[in-house]
């Protein structure tokens, strides 16, 4: 989608959207390629036992067509919500394509969800069908009575309690299916927000959301796709990051995507996977990158040959950026967005748009600003809220059944993000923190990102998060929650060393006056730290 212009300013000025009057995600990311090159590889299934399967766009079309017919035979129609409750697997890609071609609405759900989270999403969305694996089907069986509108559960692992055998149903279905004609604004998917600040809300997106994501994938991945590109992310495809920053844009471009189920992220396994499957492009969230950074260097151990590495979802930080250059020989191109409006800011070192500690600049096609509470643009250097101007093809249609929350999301034509940021003189946006995350201490406004970045530069610290703890004198003090690297023990002496490390490198008002050692940090399924829970703990 991006024109071949190798100057950021010219690229931004000359870019224009080209959204067709009719557009269906399933046809675009599957049938278009299956018609042209049916044997082209779409999904590389890297299985836990070491086996690797290569699945083509022809397979993806036939499988998605059969599934669309199965869903239709069970009464699923245009506009109905169908949940997908599985880890990364080829069937997940096929399920998405089938649902879009049927004109239904895909509801991805992360496999780490417990029964309460599952029940809430199924009840709130009114989902009529679920496609799951055995573990997912078992969880759903336990809450089936609380979701009476749920008429169909398919299990890819065979018949289970209340679930039909996916493969048996598919074997009886026709491989021919005529996709429903859809417009760009017709509902296609609903992704629930991560719940960092409250009850998750269903962000409803139209089919145009994939087209809206393309510039935000192409720019940080140095004008993706290039010959030989092959994409992987450890991010769950149930998250906007995994689904819309990797899977669907790659299939749009005919680029193969690696599917691999990880029970938890393991740096050694990640390096081995990238080497074995020839990954050229990766989207790895900052927390996972910090875990890679804590492991021994891959040099001389794994033949990792990445062309591009992008990261987003939370602040990357200069420390991790510099590690990427030294350990991987790559500039980690950061990008930014939300479930409601994703990939609107980013960096691209190839074009000279890269600054450690900054997210980047507006992606071509998107108007992003730092605004004041009244909607006016904040001048460079002034703290404000990051906002995106509508209309924008990547922006959500609405919050499901939450019209007031939808209205409250906007100030005039600016969609507010709830994220505090600062625009510098050169047009770079610096992420400071969520509205609720900014710490007020002795009159200073302190963002957690810079302190956390400093904390992980200490040789003993693997992961860190900071929050404000109420204080009668200073309003709040900075409290750090720290996960130590292997081989280090939590002691008062080490806590003092960590405090001094920050005090001498940042400022006296920014160092953590309290340090708590943790076995792990509370995180959403997308790898973001849930600071709300840490504030409650503090």
Task: Please report the pLDDT score of residue 194 as a whole number.
Answer: 67
- Which of 216, 27, 26, 187 is closest to 107 using CA atoms? 187
Task: Please report the pLDDT score of residue 446 as a whole number.
Answer: 80
> Which residues in the chain come in under a pLDDT of 50?
none
Within a domain: 396: no
pLDDT tens digits, 411-455 = 999 999 999 999 999 999 998 877 777 787 866 668 788 799 889
Alpha carbons within 13 A on the beta-carbon side of 430: 19
Within a domain: 166: yes
Within a domain: 127: yes
The total domain count for the chain is 2
Task: Please report the pLDDT score of residue 274 as a whole number.
Answer: 97
Within a domain: 422: no
**Distance separating alpha carbons of residues 130 and 399, to the nearest angstrom:** 21
Cα-Cα-Cα-Cα torsion 9, 10, 12, 16, nearest 10 degrees, comes to 170
Range of the domain at 467: 436-537
Within a domain: 533: yes
Instruction: Give the residue from 206, 222, 257 where a domain finishes.
Output: 206
**Distance separating alpha carbons of residues 301 and 317, to the nearest angstrom:** 26
**Distance separating alpha carbons of residues 86 and 108, to the nearest angstrom:** 8
Residues 6+ apart with CB under 8 A from 384: 370, 371, 372, 378, 420, 421, 422, 423
Instruction: Give the residue from 156, 187, 206 where a domain finishes.
Output: 206
Task: Please report the pLDDT score of residue 198 as a whole number.
Answer: 57
We report the CATH number of the domain holding residue 519 as 3.30.300.30
Counts of helices then strands in the chain (DSSP H, E):
18, 27
pTM: 0.86
Within a domain: 487: yes
**Distance separating alpha carbons of residues 468 and 447, to the nearest angstrom:** 10
Within a domain: 290: no
Task: Please report the pLDDT score of residue 35 as a whole number.
Answer: 98
pLDDT tens digits, 69-109 = 999 999 999 999 999 999 999 999 999 999 999 999 999 99
We report the CATH number of the domain holding residue 144 as 3.40.50.12780
Within a domain: 507: yes
**Distance separating alpha carbons of residues 513 and 127, to the nearest angstrom:** 47
Task: Please report the pLDDT score of residue 200 as a whole number.
Answer: 83
Task: Please report the pLDDT score of residue 508 as a whole number.
Answer: 75
Q: 24: which 2 tokens?
A: 């269906």
Burial-class residue 6 by CB neighbours within 10 Å (0-12, 13-18, 19+). Answer: exposed
Instruction: Give the residue from 206, 228, 244 where a domain finishes.
Output: 206
First to last CA, the chain: 47
Where in 200-357 does DSSP place strands (E)? Answer: 202-206, 231-232, 257-259, 281-283, 308-311, 333-336, 345-346
């Amino acid at each position: 989608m991006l024109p071949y212009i190798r100057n950021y300013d010219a690229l931004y000025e000359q870019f224009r959207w080209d959204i067709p009057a009719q557009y269906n995600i399933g046809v675009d990311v599957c049938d278009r390629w299956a018609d042209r090159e049916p044997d082209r590889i779409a999904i590389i299934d890297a299985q836990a036992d070491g086996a690797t399967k290569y699945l083509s766009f022809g397979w993806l079309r036939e499988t998605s067509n059969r599934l669309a017919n199965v869903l239709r035979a069970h009464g699923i129609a245009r506009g109905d919500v169908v949940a997908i409750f599985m880890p990364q697997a080829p069937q997940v890609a096929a399920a998405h394509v089938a649902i879009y071609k049927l004109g239904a609405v895909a509801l991805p759900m992360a496999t780490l969800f417990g029964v309460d989270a599952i029940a809430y999403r199924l009840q709130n969305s009114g989902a009529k069908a679920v496609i799951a694996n055995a573990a997912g089907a078992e969880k759903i069986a336990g809450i089936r009575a609380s979701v009476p509108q749920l008429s169909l559960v398919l299990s890819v692992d065979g018949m289970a309690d209340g679930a039909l055998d996916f493969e048996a149903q598919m074997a009886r279905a026709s491989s021919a299916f005529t996709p429903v004609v859809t417009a760009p604004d017709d509902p296609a998917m609903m992704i629930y927000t991560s719940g960092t600040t409250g009850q998750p809300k269903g962000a409803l997106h139209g089919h145009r959301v994939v087209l809206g994501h393309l510039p935000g994938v192409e720019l940080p991945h140095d004008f993706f796709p290039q010959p030989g590109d092959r994409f992987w992310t450890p991010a769950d495809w149930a998250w906007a990051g995994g689904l819309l920053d990797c899977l669907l844009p790659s299939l749009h471009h005919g680029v193969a995507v690696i599917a691999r189920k990880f029970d938890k992220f393991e740096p050694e396994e990640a390096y081995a996977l990238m080497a074995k499957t020839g990954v050229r492009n990766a989207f790895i969230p900052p927390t996972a990158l910090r875990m890679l950074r804590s492991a021994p260097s891959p040099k001389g151990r794994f033949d990792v040959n990445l062309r591009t590495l992008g990261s987003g979802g939370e602040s990357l930080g200069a420390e991790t950026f510099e590690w990427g250059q030294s350990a991987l020989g790559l500039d980690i191109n950061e990008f930014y967005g939300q479930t409601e409006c994703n990939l609107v800011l980013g960096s691209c070192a190839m074009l000279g748009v890269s600054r450690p500690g900054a997210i980047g600049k507006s992606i071509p096609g998107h108007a992003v600003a730092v605004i004041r509470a009244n909607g006016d643009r904040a001048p460079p250097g002034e703290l404000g809220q990051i906002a995106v101007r509508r209309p924008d093809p990547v922006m959500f249609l609405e919050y499901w059944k939450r019209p007031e929350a939808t209205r409250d999301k906007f100030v005039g034509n600016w969609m507010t993000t709830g994220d505090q940021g600062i625009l510098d003189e050169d047009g770079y946006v610096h992420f400071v923190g969520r509205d609720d995350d900014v710490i007020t201490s002795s009159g200073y406004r302190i963002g957690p990102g810079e302190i956390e970045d400093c904390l992980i530069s200490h040789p003993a610290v693997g992961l860190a998060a900071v929050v404000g703890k109420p204080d009668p004198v200073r309003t709040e003090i900075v409290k750090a929650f720290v996960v130590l690297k292997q081989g280090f023990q939590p002691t008062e002496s080490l806590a003092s060393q960590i405090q001094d490390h920050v005090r001498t490198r940042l400022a006296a008002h920014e160092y953590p006056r309290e340090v708590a050692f943790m076995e792990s940090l509370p995180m959403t399924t997308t790898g973001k730290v849930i600071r709300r829970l840490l504030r409650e703990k503090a």
